[in-house]
């Protein structure tokens, strides 16, 4: 193991979102205040109520391992943006960490349908395990360093970036592809509908919010040792300053009403980054649009930042809740905000909930302001909470 490095930096980002391929495509849509939420057409869902999601269209993925295929597309864009040839990296020091909640669920559904019909299962049934997308990335790109799948429910993508930065800082890897991937399936939509957690439209922090809308996508970031990036003359887009995680231990699906776990995760991330709350310029909030989550998050952010807090945005009114990919997509939004000084409006937010009045919510149109420090927060079932702090290079 090499000596601990001084910094973990981000040198490239890649995205496949419901708006299509590429970071630029996503960013343009977010700044324009567009939403990709629509009735489901990608699989039989006519009897599902609500019947709405943010699906990926116009991206050809002729592969039963849809989650892995999307992750690979995002990874290739991230590597290209970083101007990094994966073959130029010592394979033993090139890692992969990917968050997901459902992995190869559509393959499992095909296997289940075949069993019900008495026909042979799909030949690629071995790709069902949740760790399959991470393994696929590692094999396709020749990564022979640490490989892991993070599963902290909807905090999985954020946890993946935190773990990747930890590997770099501890000297376990020079480069790590980190992020998340998740896909829509009948199983997933029906399950959330049964929980009565879904709605036809996502309205983060709005007084009329009724529930989340599911989405799908993949986002990968190149997390690199700062010295490694400097040696090859790479452009640094952001630095991973700190990360934190904490558990609610309150309920299997509902969050702590007082935001205890979320606040502790944020405080831990700020402490690791040696950043005071007043230095944070922008928060990419979890902001699912459910009554309990948004109220909890407003309490948590209020506890940490007080009344004069940073600008707050939620991506989920635009691309839905992409589960294991959500935190990674939010990290890309933070990188873009750091680079451009623009914060997108929160799609679906029309009438802010008075219970969320402590938050400086960005709505209506993009806000221009200098962003030197950005925070991304994630919360998931079973009380999982994670946060990362990113800084300008």
Classify residue 25: in a domain, yes or no. yes
Q: Which residue has the tokens 């790479």?
A: 234
**Residue range 287-298: average pLDDT?**
95
72 HSE (CA, 13 A, CB side)? 21
144: tokens are 């022979």
Q: Which residue has the tokens 């990296």?
A: 89
311: tokens are 């600008």
| Cβ pair 150, 156 in contact under 8 A | yes
| Region label for 259, one of left (φ > 0), alpha (ψ between -120 and 50) or beta (otherwise) | left
Instruction: Tell me: do 344 and 369 sit in the same domain.
Output: yes
- Among residues 207, 231, 255, which one ends one of the domains? 231
Which H or E run includes 246? strand 238-247
Instruction: Tell me: do 220 and 321 sit in the same domain.
Output: no
- Give the tens place of pLDDT for each residue, 148-195: 999 888 999 999 999 999 999 999 999 999 999 999 988 889 999 998
**Residue 124 CB burial class (10 angstroms; 0-12, 13-18, ≥19):** middle
Q: How far apart are CA 92 and CA 1, in angstroms?
A: 11
Please tell me which residue, 126 or 150, carries the higher pLDDT value: 150
143 is catalytic: no
Q: How far apart are CA 263 and CA 246, in angstroms?
A: 8
Classify residue 36: in a domain, yes or no. yes
Instruction: Tell me: do 315 and 291 sit in the same domain.
Output: yes
- Looking at residue 130, its pLDDT comes to 67
Q: Which residues contact 249 (CB under 8 A, 6 or more apart)?
A: 261, 383
Taking 60 as the threshold, does the pLDDT of residue 253 lie above it?
yes
- Looking at residue 226, its pLDDT comes to 97
321 is catalytic: yes
- Among residues 175, 199, 231, which one ends one of the domains? 231
What residues does 312 pair with on adjacent strands? 283, 361
- Looking at residue 1, its pLDDT comes to 35
- Looking at residue 360, its pLDDT comes to 97
- Among residues 178, 197, 231, which one ends one of the domains? 231
Q: How many domains, in total, are found in the chain? A: 2
What confidence tier does 62 reach under pLDDT thresholds 50, 70, 90?
confident
Which residue among 286, 313, 334, 356 is the active-site one? 286
pTM of the model: 0.94
Average pLDDT, the chain: 92
Classify residue 325: in a domain, yes or no. yes
Helical ranges in the chain per DSSP H: 23-31, 66-81, 105-117, 132-141, 156-170, 186-194, 226-231, 260-273, 291-305, 316-319, 326-340
Instruction: Find the length of the chain.
Output: 393
- Give the tens place of pLDDT for each residue, 319-352: 999 999 999 999 999 999 999 999 999 999 999 9
Instruction: Tell me: do 250 and 215 sit in the same domain.
Output: no
Instruction: Tell me: do 171 and 249 sit in the same domain.
Output: no
Instruction: Tell me: do 220 and 251 sit in the same domain.
Output: no
Instruction: Tell me: do 106 and 252 sit in the same domain.
Output: no
- Give the tens place of pLDDT for each residue, 1-43: 344 567 999 999 999 999 999 999 999 999 999 999 999 998 8
- What are phi and psi for residue 284, nearest 5 degrees? -90, 100
Taking 70 as the threshold, does the pLDDT of residue 126 lie above it?
no
Classify residue 1: in a domain, yes or no. no
Least confident of 67-71, 81-85, 163-167, 269-273: 67-71
CATH number of the domain at 140, please: 3.40.47.10
- Looking at residue 153, its pLDDT comes to 87
Taking 70 as the threshold, does the pLDDT of residue 240 lie above it?
yes
| Cβ pair 180, 324 in contact under 8 A | yes
- Looking at residue 3, its pLDDT comes to 46
- Give the tens place of pLDDT for each residue, 87-97: 999 999 999 99
CA-to-CA separations, 114 to 36, 45, 117, 334, in angstroms, rounded:
32, 19, 5, 43
Which residue among 102, 154, 334, 356 is the active-site one? 154
- Looking at residue 5, its pLDDT comes to 60
Please give the biggest Cα pair distance in the chain: 62
Classify residue 295: in a domain, yes or no. yes
Classify residue 205: in a domain, yes or no. yes
61: tokens are 């993925």
**Residue range 63-78: average pLDDT?**
92
141: tokens are 């790109």
Instruction: Tell me: do 180 and 266 sit in the same domain.
Output: no
**Residue range 182-210: average pLDDT?**
93
Instruction: Tell me: do 250 and 204 sit in the same domain.
Output: no
- Cα dihedral 136, 139, 141, 147 sign: positive
DSSP SS3 for 344: coil
- Looking at residue 280, its pLDDT comes to 98
Instruction: Tell me: do 218 and 252 sit in the same domain.
Output: no
- Looking at residue 58, its pLDDT comes to 84
18: tokens are 């419901």
Tell me what percent of the residues of the chain surpass a pLDDT of 70. Answer: 96
- Looking at residue 2, its pLDDT comes to 42
| Cβ pair 383, 292 in contact under 8 A | no
- Looking at residue 276, its pLDDT comes to 98
- Looking at residue 44, its pLDDT comes to 82
- Looking at residue 215, its pLDDT comes to 97
Classify residue 236: in a domain, yes or no. no
Instruction: Tell me: do 250 and 194 sit in the same domain.
Output: no
Instruction: Tell me: do 226 and 247 sit in the same domain.
Output: no
| Cβ pair 241, 373 in contact under 8 A | yes
Classify residue 237: in a domain, yes or no. no
313 is catalytic: no
Buried b (16+ CB within 10 A) or exposed e, 76-92: bbbbebbebebeebeee
Eight-state DSSP code of residue 84? -
- Looking at residue 127, its pLDDT comes to 60
Domain that holds residue 221: 8-231
Round the CA-based radius of gyration of the chain to a whole number and report it: 19
């Amino acid at each position: 193991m090499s000596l601990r490095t001084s910094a973990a930096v981000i040198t490239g980002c890649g995205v496949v979102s419901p708006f299509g391929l590429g970071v630029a495509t996503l960013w343009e849509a977010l700044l324009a205040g567009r939403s990709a939420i629509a009735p489901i057409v990608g699989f039989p869902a006519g009897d599902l109520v609500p019947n709405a999601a943010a699906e990926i269209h116009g991206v050809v993925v002729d592969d039963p391992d849809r989650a892995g295929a999307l992750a690979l597309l995002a990874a290739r864009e991230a590597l290209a943006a970083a101007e990094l040839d994966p073959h130029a990296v010592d394979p033993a020091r090139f890692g992969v960490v990917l968050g997901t909640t459902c992995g190869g669920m559509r393959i499992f559904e095909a296997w289940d349908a075949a069993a019900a019909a008495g026909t042979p299962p799909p030949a690629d049934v071995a790709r069902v395990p949740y760790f399959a997308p991470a393994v696929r990335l590692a094999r396709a790109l020749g990564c022979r360093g640490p490989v892991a799948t993070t599963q902290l429910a909807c905090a999985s993508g954020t946890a993946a970036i935190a773990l990747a930065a930890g590997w770099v800082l501890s000297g376990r890897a020079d480069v790590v592809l980190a992020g998340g991937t998740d896909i829509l399936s009948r199983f997933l939509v029906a399950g959330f509908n049964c929980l009565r957690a879904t709605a036809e439209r996502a309205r983060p922090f709005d007084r009329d919010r009724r529930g989340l809308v599911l989405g799908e996508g993949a986002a990968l970031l190149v997390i690199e040792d700062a010295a490694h990036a400097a040696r090859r003359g790479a452009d640094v887009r952001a630095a991973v300053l700190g990360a934190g995680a904490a558990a609610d231990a309150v309920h299997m699906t509902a969050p702590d009403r007082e935001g205890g776990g979320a606040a502790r995760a944020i405080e831990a991330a700020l402490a690791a980054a040696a950043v005071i709350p007043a230095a944070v310029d922008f928060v990419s909030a979890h902001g699912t649009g459910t009554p309990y989550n948004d109220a909890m998050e407003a309490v948590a952010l209020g506890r940490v930042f007080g009344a004069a807090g940073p600008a707050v945005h939620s991506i989920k009114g635009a691309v839905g809740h992409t589960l294991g990919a959500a935190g990674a997509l939010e990290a890309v939004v933070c990188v873009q905000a750091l680079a451009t000084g623009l914060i997108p409006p929160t799609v679906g937010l029309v009438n802010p909930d008075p219970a969320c009045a402590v938050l400086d919510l960005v709505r209506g149109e993009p806000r221009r302001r200098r962003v030197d420090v950005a925070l991304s927060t994630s919360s998931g079932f079973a009380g999982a909470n994670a946060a990362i702090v990113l800084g300008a290079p």
